[in-house]
Chains A and B, each alone.
Chain A
């Protein structure tokens, strides 16, 4: 079975390059640091997950880039792809095998760091810890990193050089993260949409803007974390958490299933379309 050949080779090769250890190590260290620091201000461990989720949203994609951006582009640049595709491996097995190997590492990093967060939560925090909240957090975050990994591996599939793959991945990170989320008020997707609407002499409703805002995998991730805080959203005690997760909006964009679907669709679409191009690409 050659799908497993690709996964096995790629996993061994990646693991020995220390990038696996790097990704899992850095992520776990940061998460532990956040959980440790938050304890000073809050007695509930789930409150730390709120800060951790912003770290996952904003910083983890940058850690994920070195793990994924060369997955296919690097092989094409170095010519190693001739080994894999000179053998009876299909291009589908090759691309999806690469994705599987890399996403396994990303998800492992999420699992390990979430587990460490749980242990620290139990040991350090004053109030009792509900492990289910951590399990939910880990599962939703795993879906998020899978979606991002698919996007980055897809991007890598479209290029045959290291530099393009790098710029592509960083560009996608800014597009789907800070730009879409509106980290800088002026340089944001919703600001651009409003500008365009203005120029056309029309307006955009808040509801439409919210649909747009929550249609990136990263914003969908943040929104989709709602079940983690199920039943413990207290506006008095945790105003930040409440402002993000309390209340019901008038639209699907606020629904959890819609958020999970958004993440899944982005990953599937980008990787799928990239593969469709790679399938007929000229190699060599």
Chain B
């Protein structure tokens, strides 16, 4: 079953703001989908449309096969939501928030079991939510989201305020829920959180989906961006480094040569080549992180980076992901 399907989804606020542009997205059951993008990219606007809080300007959205504009109630019966940046009811306890969800969904969960699962201490669970730290509030919201064994969990920035234990717990819960068959739609502006749990990632920037791929494919791109640097005694006029298989680009600055390689094996080949051509005084290798790739995507400088086929060196004009200095 398809958990989420959007087609040419657009959201405008007035004439000026085009918050979501032609979004085409499909999330399948059992899948953990990472919805990435910097703050203000349109992630929350998209989620608000999934929930029926906002009406799409054009395009369609189906959640669990239901049309969001017509069957929002049925959708909310079958999803679990962890909203971002909201204040719970100040004078209700965490436990009462969970009870409220159980009541509204007509579910038969045991609130204490759910609170225990998210690691909210029983004493804390009975205190007013206004006294909660951000982390405790996130745990409470997580318990609320888990009520009724939802088919789709929508987590909007779930790790914010969570300590490392909480983050690990979140990961474990996501795993348990997907094993049960639920889909997880995980929105975040921090790539690191997403890469560990998500099967696929969509990167949204300025309302547009600039990348949509599996983590593995994104990793391939990451490897394409590793940079080997070497400080030489003197840089020969002609190094001939472009003839080394797997080199995409290279440049020199003073006595330092920076070489971008597209595959791991090329790194050693580059070093051997340089060692033959000159006296190498120092070397460095910088693995371009997925983080850097994400940064470049969201800064808009790599709109069409393709996984390289390897082998041939390309022209020096290509913007390379993660091409930093060692």
Is A199 interfacial (CB 8 A cutoff)? no
Instruction: Compute the total of residue contacts between A and B using a CB distance below 8 Å.
Output: 81
Does the CB pair A83–B97 fall under 8 Å?
A: yes
Does the CB pair B105–A87 fall under 8 Å?
A: yes
Is A184 interfacial (CB 8 A cutoff)? no
Within the complex, the shortest CB–CB distance from B326 to chain A, in Å, comes to: 45
Taking CB atoms, residues of chain A closer than 8 Å to B53 are 82, 85, 282-284
Chain B interface: which size bin? 20 to 34
Is B25 interfacial (CB 8 A cutoff)? no
The stretch of A8-16, A61-69, A129-137 that contacts the partner chain: A8-16
54-103 of chain A: CB within 8 A of chain B? 78-80, 82-90
A interface secondary structure, majority:
helix
Does the CB pair B100–A83 fall under 8 Å?
A: yes
Is A208 interfacial (CB 8 A cutoff)? no
Given contacts A78-B87, A88-B73, contact A283 B54 (CB under 8 A): yes
Most buried by A among B55, B77, B88: B88
Contacting residue for A87 out of B45, B48, B96, B100, CB 8 A: B100
Is B245 interfacial (CB 8 A cutoff)? no
Is A37 interfacial (CB 8 A cutoff)? no
Does the CB pair A83–B103 fall under 8 Å?
A: no
Does the CB pair B100–A284 fall under 8 Å?
A: no
For B10-46 the 0/1 string (1 means CB < 8 A from A) is 0000000000000000000000000000000000110
Does the CB pair B92–A9 fall under 8 Å?
A: yes
Is A2 interfacial (CB 8 A cutoff)? yes
Does the CB pair A2–B83 fall under 8 Å?
A: no
For B48-74 the 0/1 string (1 means CB < 8 A from A) is 100101110000000000000000011
Does the CB pair A13–B83 fall under 8 Å?
A: no
103-143 of chain A: CB within 8 A of chain B? none
Does the CB pair A83–B86 fall under 8 Å?
A: yes
Is A243 interfacial (CB 8 A cutoff)? no
Does the CB pair B44–A284 fall under 8 Å?
A: yes
A82–B50 Cα gap in the complex (Å)?
A: 13
Is B85 interfacial (CB 8 A cutoff)? yes
Given contacts A87-B101, A283-B54, A284-B44, contact A80 B128 (CB under 8 A): no
Contacting residue for B104 out of A5, A78, A80, A284, CB 8 A: A5
For B103-135 the 0/1 string (1 means CB < 8 A from A) is 111000000000000000000000010000000
Taking CB atoms, residues of chain B closer than 8 Å to A17 are 90-91
Does the CB pair A79–B85 fall under 8 Å?
A: yes
Does the CB pair B89–A87 fall under 8 Å?
A: no
Is B144 interfacial (CB 8 A cutoff)? yes
Taking CB atoms, residues of chain A closer than 8 Å to B54 are 282-284
Taking CB atoms, residues of chain A closer than 8 Å to B86 are 78-80, 82-83
Which A residues fall within an 8 A CB radius of B?
2, 4-5, 8-9, 12-17, 78-80, 82-90, 280, 282-284
Q: 5 nearest interchain CB pairs? A: A79-B86, A16-B91, A86-B81, A82-B83, A87-B104
Which B residues fall within an 8 A CB radius of A?
44-45, 48, 51, 53-55, 73-74, 76-77, 81, 83, 85-92, 96-97, 100-101, 103-105, 128, 144
